Structure 1
Amino acid sequence: MELVPWHLAALLLLPSLSPGIALIQPIEEGKEAWDYVTVRSNASMFWWLYYANNPCKNFTELPLIMWLQGGPGGSSTGFGNFEEIGPLDEELKPRKTTWLQSASLLFVDNPVGTGFSFANQSDAYAKNLDMVASDMLVLLQNFFDARPEFKTIPFYIFSESYGGKMAAGISLELYKAMQKGSINCNFAGVALGDSWISPVDSVLSWGPYLYSMSLLDDRSLTDMTKIGEKILDAMNKGLYEWATQLWADAETFVEQDTDGVNFYNILNKNPPESTMKTSPEFTQDHLVRLYHRHVRQLHQDKLSELMNGPIRKKLKIIPDFVTWGEQSSLVFSNMEKDFMKPVINIVDELLEAGINVTIYNGQLDLIVDTMGQEAWLRKLKWPELTAFSQMKRKPLYVNPESNDTSAFYKSHKNLAFYWILKAGHMVPSDQGEMALKMMRMVTGQEES
């Protein structure tokens, strides 16, 4: 385990501390630490912690945020850290909109096999949300026991894409564990960003959304609707693996009829699939397409070179047989049968339990478009939903002196929704200032 000044991370020439020393050294502000946790036999998960770095407050006065990436198979320690909210960008230059100024950040490579996390056997990969949540609870219990200074600090889980589905399941199991007393922490809420909560609602809204943006015409909209009906039928029959294959076909149709619209931002275009390389162990065609669109692009060559080069050298504890991102295709394929399953019921349970739930979505996202989010939101059985729905949204401005609307939001009881304008799937990457403001609002550090 290492404990080093984060602001010297760019030098990547820091001396290594002996294992265990970090646990007995005085904890100083502006530090970072990392380690592995064996969550099951032949399954280990990697985490990376940055202590909050605020000139006016000690880290104990600020919340702890765990960030979960999507995919499944997208690396939090890589993409979320260096591309979205961490202290440094992939050029190792300071990020002006890092969340570290307002919170300590815990990046976890999950499920097992993601990023620097690894599985030693083929049967050690997570197959469903229950396994994902169970593994994370082992990690969290280990983390809070090893770093008791965080047990009383408000703890939030922020997520993106499939990470939102995992965050919902993890949050519910964490709540249950806290009720039983098996984990001691101050869980304060979960934020679901552009989250894969109800896949079928997302897919069914693609046609109307693309049509409204002039990316589909009447004929294409009709064809897209028929595909959506097939997926809905498969879902209703419980044929989730078949639904995943149909979903891959739906994406291919969209790419063809929109001339390659980017699923993460409709203002951009996808690269031709012919330029993408496939993994030799990854032979099912529909999974190849899905993996390359939604996981592989998170691990671009530049980021992979950073993580497998300077960062690996800095961390010093990565086993020789582990390559960052190498197992991510297997993570994705092992979750195929669980991929299309909705978790609206879990969000309902979170709300009923009184857990603070925040939903935020980028205006330009397609894969998890805002229309789809609003569709599943209307299916909640939460007794306060009607009151929430009848509330009027409020505009948000990054600069109080500006008339440029950055977002809309509304909040009632323990549910909040943020509509982030001019952002795609990766909200912090596209609208860093607004994402930072939203995080500060969610964690009670800033008023609207």
Structure 2
Amino acid sequence: MDWQQSPFVLLLLASLFTKGLASPLKGSESWGYVPVRDGAHMFWWLYFADSPSAHYTELPLVMWLQGGPGGSGTGFGNFEEIGPLDRDLKPRDTTWVQSASVLFVDNPVGTGFSFAETDEAFAKDVSTVSSDMMVLLRSFFTDRDDFQNIPFYIFSESYGGKMAAAISLALTEAVAHGSIKCNFAGVALGDSWISPLDSVMTWGPYLYTTSLLDDLGLAEVSAVAQDVQAAMEQGHFLKATELWSLAESVVEKNTNNVNFYNILTQDPEQSVGAKPGADAISLQFHRHVQRLQRRSLSQLMNGEVRRRLKVIPQNVTWGGQAEAVFRNMAADFMKPVVETVDQLLSSGVNVTVYNGQLDLIVDTMGQELWVKELKWEGLPFFNKLRWTPLDDPAAPGVTGAFYKTYKNFSFYWILKAGHMIPSDQGAMALHMLQMITQS
């Protein structure tokens, strides 16, 4: 489809603002579709950077990839985390658009406003996800050559991190071969599903040390985690995904429904929406993707936003194919991509890992385990470094994070944040973005 241009949020969503509310931004935006395979169409939405001190061509470009798989960046990432407006269409003080142009992409195909025409058009693995993204990025940077020399970063969250690692490796190769012209500057993996087994195996110890499991509960969670490990070791990855679902049910039972995304809260509605007797894959979809499409956001996306975009096909519903996306990726879900991260580091790509202190689904203990498994030659030197505290920009004098960096690898420990760091600690997340991109 042709690129769609419009004035920025004030004009695009004028009818959505309450009377007298002014837009904090003065830039512009673009959106559209790219056909990436036969019957497979990916939707993207670009916000140009809006800064009082710099033109968008002087600031980086950030692509945001949501988790799931099946979570929509144009919806959740945009209106719930880092876009210029929140879900209530009020200006967000910590929007990343003040420091970078932000490209949201609904991927894999079938996510958000992206859509598949046939069952065969859904991606089954991260290899297809990354090849689809190469088609989209080739189209983007060809049509928008003003972005070709701007530093381009990929930021991600949750399963989006697994996809981001594979996409970054494919992009590095495409840039080297000259098939995509862009200034790829690095990838940031936020609370990312890089090594699923390391996450699952540390759930028990993490919950136990935070007083959310007793001895009997720890034994039960550890036992089912070992079942997941056995399936992984045997190469039964679909079975491992199903056992992962069982492991989470055991966690819920023993913790009185601890929230997988922030251990300081409970979420008795984690599995609401799943039909009684639903299979493990459907149950996990409702636990981890349907929560990104709750009614108020779905109504916004399928209502005024859809009408204003004017390019969404009549038979496409935002989030309507999300479960099909998740189900088609189920056999690939538990496969690790630690080796991919190693390849990125060895290729000289700037890699950042960042994680929320209160996240359970991808707990920091598990992240640190796979990092210690890296074969990257700089790891022994990285491990010898002490971390550096960072003040919380929203509370000067209070530590908001720790970080350390060696050559092309960085790790950020974000305090008082769960799985969705920009939602929990927006000012700290924005400060981290500015440090990584030097914007």
The answer to whether structure 1 residue 412 and structure 2 residue 415 are counterparts is no
In structure 1, the residue matched to 2:21 is none
- Judge which range, 3-12 or 345-354, deviates more: 3-12
In structure 2, do the counterparts of structure 1 residues 273 and 378 end up closer, same or farther at CA, with 3 Å as the change threshold?
A: closer
Provide the rounded CA distance (Å) in 1 between the counterparts of 2:14 and 2:235: 52
Match of 1:324 in 2: 318
Q: Deviations over 1:98-119 (max 9, x none)?
A: 0000000000000000000000
1:52-109 per-position Cα deviation (integer Å, ceiling 9, x unaligned): 0001110000000000000000000000000000000111111000000000000000
Equivalent residue letter for 2:4 = E
- 1:134 paired residue among 122, 131, 142: 131
CA-CA distance at 1:431 after TM superposition: 0.2
AA of the residue aligned to 1:354: G
1:5 CA displacement:
2.3
1:163-242 paired onto structure 2 within 5 Å: 163-242=160-239
- 2:39 aligned with 1:42, yes or no? yes
Q: Which residue of 2 aligns with 1:22?
A: none
One-letter code of the match for 1:56?
S
Residue 378 of structure 1, aligned match among 359, 372, 393: 372
- After superposition, the C-alpha distances for 1:241-279 in whole angstroms (9 at most, x for unaligned) are 010011000000000100000000011111346742549
1:11 aligns with 2:14: yes
1:248 maps onto 2:245 in alignment: yes
TM-score when scaled to structure 1?
A: 0.93
- Asked if the contact 2:153–2:186 (Cα under 8 Å) also holds between the matched residues in 1, the reply is yes
Tell me by how many angstroms 1:400 deviates: 9.5
Mapped partners of 2:400, 2:270: distance in 1: 34
Residue of structure 1 equivalent to 2:76 = 79
Over 3 Å counting, the alpha-carbon distance change for 1:439 and 1:13 in structure 2 is closer
Are the aligned partners of 1:6 and 1:31 in contact in 2 as well (CA < 8 Å)? yes
**Cα distance in 1 between the residues matched to 2:162 and 2:318:** 23
1:10 shift after superposition: 3.2
Equivalent residues in 2 for 1:307-318, closer than 5 Å: 307-318=301-312
CA distance in 1, matches of 2:377, 2:216: 40
* Identity fraction in percent: 59
Cα separation, 1, equivalents of 2:365 and 2:260:
14
Q: In structure 1, list runs of 5 or more residues that go unmatched.
A: 15-27
Counterpart CA distance in 2 for 1:304 and 1:259 is 28
Q: Distance in 1 between matches of 2:393 and 2:128?
A: 43
Q: Is the 8 A contact 1:12 1:311 kept in 2?
A: no
**Secondary structure, counterpart of 1:269 in structure 2:** coil
User: Per-residue deviation at 1:29?
Assistant: 6.8
Alignment size in residue pairs:
429
Q: Distance in 2 between matches of 1:435 and 1:179?
A: 31
Q: What residue in structure 2 maps to residue 18 of structure 1?
A: none
C-alpha distance in structure 1 between counterparts of 2:274 and 2:403, whole Å: 41
Residues 274, 178 of structure 1: alpha-carbon distance in 2 compared, 3 angstrom cutoff: closer
Name the CA distance, whole Å, in 1 between partners of 2:300 and 2:125.
30
Residue 280 of structure 2 aligns with which residue? 286
| Stretch moving more, 268-277 or 205-214 | 268-277
Match of 2:155 among 134, 158, 166: 158
Is the Cα–Cα contact under 8 Å of residues 350 and 408 in structure 2 kept in the other structure? Answer: yes
**What is the identity, as a one-letter code, of the residue corresponding to 2:347?**
A
Matched ranges for 1:348-387 at <5 A: 348-387=342-381
TM-score, length-normalised on structure 2?
Answer: 0.95
Q: What SS does structure 1 have at the residue aligned with 2:335?
A: coil
Consecutive unaligned residues of structure 2, counting only runs of 5 or more, are 18-24
Distance 1:408 1:58 in 2: 31
Call closer, same or farther: CA 1:121–1:365 in 2, change over 3 Å: same
User: Could you tell me which of 423, 426, 448 is aligned with 2:420?
Assistant: 426
Cα distance in structure 2, aligned partners of 1:206 and 1:400: 30
User: Are residues 185 and 29 of structure 1, via their aligned partners in 2, closer, same or farther at CA, if it must alter by over 3 Å?
Assistant: farther
1:125, distance to aligned residue in structure 2 (A): 0.1
- Using a 3 Å threshold, how does the CA distance of structure 1 residues 241 and 32 change in structure 2: closer, same or farther? same
Does residue 257 in structure 1 map to residue 251 in structure 2? no
- Please state whether the residue corresponding to 2:155 is helix, strand or coil: strand
Aligned to 2:245, what secondary structure does the other structure show?
helix
**1:222, distance to aligned residue in structure 2 (A):** 1.4
Equivalent residue letter for 2:187:
V
- Note if contact 1:29-1:59 (Cα within 8 Å) is conserved in structure 2: no
2:93 paired residue among 65, 87, 96: 96
1:158-195 deviation digits (Å, cap 9, x = unpaired): 00000000000000000001111100000000000000
| Deviation of the 1:402 alpha carbon | 2.4
What SS is found at the alignment partner of 1:73?
A: coil
Match of 1:403 among 387, 393, 397: 397
How far residue 223 of structure 1 moved from its aligned partner, in angstroms, is 1.6
Select the residue among 50, 67, 72 that pairs with 2:64: 67
Q: Is the 8 A contact 1:397 1:405 kept in 2?
A: yes
Q: How many Å separate the matches in 2 of 1:366 and 1:13?
A: 36
- Aligned residues of 2:8 and 2:26 also touching (Cα < 8 A): no
Asked if the contact 1:155–1:185 (Cα under 8 Å) also holds between the matched residues in 2, the reply is: yes
Where 1:418 maps in the other structure, the secondary structure is strand
SS in 1 for 2:315: coil
In 2: Cα distance, 1:115 partner to 1:305 partner: 13
SS in 2 for 1:405: strand
**Distance in structure 2 (CA, Å) of the matches to 1:131 and 1:385:** 30
> Matched residues in 1 for 2:141 and 2:273: separation?
41
Aligned residue number for residue 334 of structure 2: 340
- 1:7–1:400 distance in 2 versus 1, CA, 3 Å: closer
Structure 2 distance, partners of 1:288, 1:228, is 20
Deviation at 1:225, TM superposition (A): 1.3
